[in-house]
Amino acid sequence: MEQKESDKIIYDKNVIEFVTVAVELCAILEAEEKLPRLEWIDRMLKILPLLYLKATLLPETVASFDEMPEIFVQEEDYSRVEQRVSEVMGEEDVYLDVFIEEMKYSDRPISAFISENIADIYQDIRNFISVYQFELTNQMENALEICKNNFKSYWGQKLLNVLRPMHALISKGNSITGEGLLNQEELWD
């Protein structure tokens, strides 16, 4: 029995690995349990680079766009993720971003929010993996193409942007828990 060409792409090893990492990211962001800031940042600093790597390995697609993928993330879903991340990050949610188009025309630093960028990434990733989770086979290749294009033009840069301030918080050992400076063992446990 010969496998269709699109089945080879949508069930490619690299696609399945990307889906696996994306599901884990969504599980962290959708979890009801509120993690301490250091633990949450630690998880993000492990999963986000892996998501980036897996996105770069996605195969070339030949999307037909005969049937557009469904949109699963509603405004309230986006807002819930953004709010949860904002609560975890607290005063550390805001950072200066130099990779914003408006920065070219500004003589002042431009603020960005980790929570907003994470919610933007979540929205695209959740829409993509939902197509796979609901086994909407006829939409998978188109969803893959959209996700891959959005990674290149939109959320890939957002992912990289949030790594910098989170890394700075962890590596400097700033008083991000409100308990004063932390030693290295506390940071990485």
Q: What is the pLDDT of residues 162-178, one digit of tens each?
A: 999 999 998 876 444 44
Q: Residue 155: pLDDT above 50?
A: yes
Q: Are 18 and 10 in contact (CB under 8 A)?
A: no
Cα separation, 161 vs 150, whole angstroms: 15
CATH number of the domain residue 23 falls in: 1.20.120.1550
Q: Residue 89: pLDDT above 50?
A: yes
Across 8-15, average pLDDT: 94
Q: Residue 1: pLDDT above 50?
A: no
3-class state of residue 71 by DSSP: coil
Beta strands 94-97; 110-113: pairing state = antiparallel
Please, which pLDDT band fits residue 62 given cuts at 50, 70 and 90? confident
Q: Residue 186: pLDDT above 50?
A: no
What's the domain count of the chain?
1
Q: Residue 103: pLDDT above 90?
A: no
- The parent domain of residue 130 ranges over 5-188
HSE-CB at 39 with a 13 A cutoff on CA atoms is 7
